[in-house]
């Protein structure tokens, strides 16, 4: 099961710490796909660093989907 964008957005409306802890527990072992323009070395390095930190702290894998342009996101189909 993938951590979906819908779940991530719903978390913004749920500030309770207990809910956040439940979310962290549910996210363990999951993969998050971060769609971002892949043409900037500094941005790519930052995303790689975030991925390392997220894996180490929360056991959540962040994978960058390197886009040639941010408009390309509209061409992806997501399945849950």
pTM: 0.62
Judge whether 18 lies within some domain: yes
Judge whether 80 lies within some domain: no
Spatial contact of 3 and 78, defined as CB atoms under 8 Å apart? no
Judge whether 20 lies within some domain: yes
| pLDDT for the residue numbered 31 | 95
Q: Label residue 16 exposed, middle or buried (CB < 10 Å: 0-12, 13-18, 19+).
A: exposed
Containing structural domain, residue 46: 5-75
1-5, 41-45, 61-65, range with the lowest pLDDT: 1-5
Judge whether 55 lies within some domain: yes
Residue 1 — pLDDT band, cuts 50, 70, 90?
A: very low
Report how many domains make up the chain.
1
């Amino acid at each position: 099961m993938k951590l979906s964008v819908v779940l991530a957005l719903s978390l913004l409306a749920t500030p309770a710490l207990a809910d956040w802890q439940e979310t962290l527990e549910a996210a363990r072992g999951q993969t998050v796909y971060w769609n971002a323009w892949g043409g900037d070395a500094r941005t790519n390095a930052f995303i790689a660093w975030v991925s390392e930190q997220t894996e180490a702290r929360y056991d959540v894998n962040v994978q960058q989907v390197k886009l040639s342009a941010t408009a390309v996101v509209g061409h992806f189909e997501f399945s849950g």
